[in-house]
Structure 1
Amino acid sequence: MEFCDDCGSMMKTDGDHWVCGSCGAEKLRDSAKEAQMVTTQGQQKSEIVDVSDAEDKGLPTTKVHCPKCENDRAYWYMQQIRSADESETRFFVCTECEHKWREDDH
Structure 2
Amino acid sequence: MKFCDDCGSMMKTEGDSWVCGSCGYETLRDEAAEQEMAVTTQGQEESEIVDTSEVDAEDMGPTTGARCPECGNERAYYEMKQIRAADESETRFFTCTECEHKWREDDH
Give TM-score, length-normalised by structure 1. Answer: 0.49
Report which of the two has the higher share of helix: 2
Larger Rg: 2
